[in-house]
Structure 1
Amino acid sequence: MAKHQSSIALLITLSFISSFDSIQSATFTLTNQCTYPVWTGLLSGAGTPPLPTTGFPLQPSQSNSIPIPSSWSGRIWGRTLCSTDSTGRFTCVTGDCGSGTVECNGGGAAPPATLAEFTLNGANGMDFYDVSLVDGYNLPMTVVPQGESSGNCNVTGCVADLNRNCPSELRLTMTTGDESVACRSACEAFGDPMYCCNGAYSTPQTCNPTSYSEYFKTACPTAYSYAYDDGTSTFTCSAANYVITFCPTPANSRKTTGGNQSTQSSGSGSGSGSLANAFGVSSVAVFAFTLTSVWSFL
């Protein structure tokens, strides 16, 4: 009898831990409000748990929700103008991760690309997040925290179309025509330490904003415009889920005021959007079933 009770206690403990981990994880909802397809890319930082996917397509008005492990850190971005060649290799004109497939499989975004960066459950249990244009810009993006309990839980990102008026020397264009499909950083364009914040310019005191970084900052005040643009560009939150939107409408750019916001997704949702629900419901169901079985046994 004692052996059975020990086994039951272990089963309850394991089930509780599984349920607790599920509760502590976040849900990221990625929404495409662009008029064109976007292929999402996701990259986990070193030593952080892997995600169930590292890349997937989003058609216009489509959303996809994925479970994010607690203490995860990494980057999320959108790839544009993607295609598959006659050999089956998948590539994108902007944000390509070099994997040759829709899944990025550990590859990062080739600049220029707009990046959403996260460190969940960091110092003092807070999530740290930002939208960075340090590696350039390819499409508008916002991060909206939802269900937050504390912290500087602001919406951040870049709603503006920076490709339209991108300085000619920073423009990334297609092989035909001069229409800008992305706007490079001055570091990528010129390789000068003054723009890259390295060499003699590797400290906050020596690396200052430039006319090029100011182009990004003026249009997108809450996004990182150069390496040491921390004061107005990093935000914190706790116990939140996050909505990452490509080509957000102006309504998505407002400051959150706490509680669940109505800026979730305007898309209908499809793809593997049910994955997060499957994770959450299954964990709770297993826990409830285990308790019911245990008490019935006793």
Structure 2
Amino acid sequence: MAKSQSLTFFFLLLVISFLASGAKAASFTLTNNCGYTVWPGILSGAGTAPLSTTGFVLNSGQSRSVDIPSSWSGRLWGRTYCSTNQSTSTFSCVTGDCGSGKIDCSGSGATPPATLAEFTLNGSGGMDFFDVSLVDGYNLPMLVSPTSSTASSGGNCTATGCLADLNGICPSNLKVILSDSGGQSVACKSACDAFGKPEFCCSGAYGNPNTCKPSSYSQIFKNACPRAYSYAYDDATSTFTCPTGVNYIITFCPSNPGQKAGENNPQAAGIPLINDSMVFLGPASGGTLAKTWRFAAVTSAASLAAFWLQF
């Protein structure tokens, strides 16, 4: 083979190798297990290019996969109570709205309160970092599951999320209530969003882990969902890692595998986040909201596998 042909062949191999390794680092499969429509939103982090889609609709029971490029960082969430204004053609959501006026999100993230899944792929040490965060409040249950686990990776490559119905136990001064919902909460604010105080927002004099501590409000979130972030410095029990190259499944309402589809939005009469097959066992100890609420899932292997996340 001539020298020029060898060089051409070499560079072709480099290009192919680059495209194969960098074009797609992972696949996110988003599944809507709720009995109502969810509109996922996706925001890329600073310096990271937007994905091929930044927002779409998922009817009850639907799934959609999104290819994620190498070294991507960002967050995703589910929007609820969404509709399009017929006179202005403006799309908006009651919870998790991204302010774009369209189904696609652009330029801004979720309007609190919203349950967030956060990712940094191919980060320090060639690891993926991910978490489910309630720091900006809560609007629906979410589970993030790696499709494989490598015990020898040195990371903590396992599922995380929040399965509990925090709207049902949300303190009255944190509740988001629609005017026609009959008083039922459709989302639960964080104390920072509700009161704006530095001690709740980990800002000002409270802007470091030594001065910013869990509040009685964040403890309600933490006790119900011990693997999710409950306040800004809740790193130790809430950050998970996997080897780069793992794919992820993000499930909305993961505890409802047998739930039938409802209308396009959650119903004012009751958002069915926990179905009839969930047996309520009461608080783990005592009877206050600050205790861990326990539910036993008995319908399927999927719900049973998710059950341990409550502890």
Decide: shared fold, TM above 0.5.
Answer: yes
Alpha-carbon contact 2:174-2:191 (below 8 Å) kept: yes
Amino acid at match of 1:35: G
| Counterpart check, 1:116 vs 2:120 | no
> 1:195: Cα distance to partner?
0.9
Amino acid at match of 1:217: K
| Counterpart check, 1:98 vs 2:99 | yes
Count of residues paired in the alignment: 255
Task: Look up the match of 1:47.
Answer: 47
Which one is further off, 146-155 or 117-126? 146-155
Rounded to whole Å, the distance in 2 between the matches of 1:169 and 1:45 is 31
Give the 3-state SS of the residue equivalent to 1:103 in structure 2: coil
| Counterpart check, 1:213 vs 2:218 | yes
Amino acid at match of 2:129: F
Give the 3-state SS of the residue equivalent to 1:248 in structure 2: coil
Rounded to whole Å, the distance in 2 between the matches of 1:115 and 1:252 is 21
Alpha-carbon contact 1:49-1:69 (below 8 Å) kept: no
> 1:106: Cα distance to partner?
2.7
Alpha-carbon contact 2:135-2:232 (below 8 Å) kept: yes
| Counterpart check, 1:79 vs 2:79 | yes
Rounded to whole Å, the distance in 1 between the matches of 2:8 and 2:176 is 62
| Counterpart check, 1:179 vs 2:184 | yes
| Counterpart check, 1:251 vs 2:304 | yes
Rounded to whole Å, the distance in 2 between the matches of 1:165 and 1:17 is 50
Cα displacement string for residues 214-271 of structure 1 (whole angstroms, at most 9, x for unaligned residues): 1101100000111111111111111311111100023352679xxxxxxxxxxxxxxx
> 1:30: Cα distance to partner?
0.5
Amino acid at match of 1:92: C
Give the 3-state SS of the residue equivalent to 1:56 in structure 2: coil
Which one is further off, 10-19 or 211-220? 10-19
Alpha-carbon contact 2:156-2:240 (below 8 Å) kept: yes
| Counterpart check, 1:127 vs 2:128 | yes
Alpha-carbon contact 2:39-2:57 (below 8 Å) kept: yes
Aligned CA-pair RMSD: 1.6
Structure 2, unaligned runs of 5 or more: 256-302
> 1:10: Cα distance to partner?
2.5
Rounded to whole Å, the distance in 2 between the matches of 1:233 and 1:95 is 21
Rounded to whole Å, the distance in 1 between the matches of 2:9 and 2:222 is 58
1:224 to 214, 223, 229: 229
Alpha-carbon contact 1:71-1:121 (below 8 Å) kept: yes
Structure 1, unaligned runs of 5 or more: 257-298
Alpha-carbon contact 1:29-1:244 (below 8 Å) kept: yes
Which one is further off, 172-181 or 137-146? 172-181
> 1:155: Cα distance to partner?
0.9
Distance 1:9 1:217, change over 3 A: same
Cα displacement string for residues 7-55 of structure 1 (whole angstroms, at most 9, x for unaligned residues): 3332232123212324x61111100000000000000001123211100
Higher RCO, Cα 8 Å, sep 6+: 1
TM-score of the superposition, structure 1-length normalised?
A: 0.82
TM-score of the superposition, structure 2-length normalised?
A: 0.78
Give the 3-state SS of the residue equivalent to 2:94 in structure 1: strand
Give the 3-state SS of the residue equivalent to 1:28 in structure 2: strand
Rounded to whole Å, the distance in 2 between the matches of 1:4 and 1:125 is 35
Query: What are the within-5 Å matches in structure 2 for residues 1-298 of structure 1?
Result: 2-22=3-23, 25-86=25-86, 87-149=88-150, 150=153, 151-176=155-180, 177-238=182-243, 239-249=245-255, 250-253=303-306
Give the 3-state SS of the residue equivalent to 2:223 in structure 1: helix
Amino acid at match of 1:204: P
Alpha-carbon contact 2:149-2:158 (below 8 Å) kept: no
Alpha-carbon contact 2:176-2:189 (below 8 Å) kept: yes
Rounded to whole Å, the distance in 1 between the matches of 2:188 and 2:308 is 26
> 1:208: Cα distance to partner?
1.1
